[in-house]
Amino acid sequence: MKPWRKQVRPLDLAGDDHVRNAMELTQARRRLFADLIGIRVQRGISQAKVADAIGINRSGISRFEADIETSNPTFDVVLRYAHAVGASLTLRAEPMDQGGHLLR
């Protein structure tokens, strides 16, 4: 076991603050996917071209775009999709306290 794993304590993620954070993260994921799809469509880039550029089959792109609620592409696929459609992503992680509030 790695030394850092010994210090991990489970969080109570059932509290209202954590539920709100989970909902916000889900909404951010939906917005990201919708924005990427919108950029592809706006630029007139076909699903087939994106699929070729990122090395997956077109049906994978089609499934992802058709169901952004339940599709679960890897983070690497999302980054390659963004690159293929000429999008920039800004990602940041911020720590939260035990109550689910951002530490700033």
23-27, 84-88, 93-97: which range is least confident on average?
93-97
Cβ pair 87, 39 in contact under 8 A: yes
Q: Find the mean pLDDT for residues 16-28.
A: 81
Mean pLDDT of the chain: 85
Q: Find the mean pLDDT for residues 50-78.
A: 92
Q: Which residue ranges make up each domain of the chain?
A: 46-89
Going by C-beta distance under 8 Å and a sequence separation of 6 or more, which residues neighbour residue 24? none
Q: Give pTM, 2 decimals.
A: 0.77
CA–CA separation, 90 and 86 (whole Å) = 13
